[in-house]
Amino acid sequence: MTVQSHRTARADSAGRIDLLTFDLDGTLVDTAAEIAEAVNRALADVDVAPCPQPQIEALIGAGAHELMRRLLAQIDPALRLDRELVLARLDHHYAQTAGTHGVTYPGAHACLQALREGGVRLGLVTNKELRHARRVLDANDLTGYFEQVIGGDSLAWKKPDARVLQHVMATLHCEPARTAHLGDSATDLHAARHAGVADWAVPWGYNAGQPVEHDRPSRMFHSLPQVAEHVLSLRQGPNASEIAAVRATGLSG
Closest CA to 111 of 102, 120, 103: 120
Q: At what angle do helices 108-117 and 224-234 cross, to 10 degrees?
A: 10
Q: End-to-end CA distance of the chain, in Å?
A: 13
Residue 45: helix, strand or coil by DSSP? helix
Residue 61: helix, strand or coil by DSSP? coil
Long-range contacts of 84-93 (CB under 8 A, 24+ apart): 85/46, 86/42, 86/43, 86/45, 86/46, 89/41, 89/42, 89/45, 89/46, 90/38, 90/39, 90/42, 90/64, 90/65, 91/64, 92/42, 93/37, 93/38, 93/39, 93/41, 93/42
Active site residues: 23
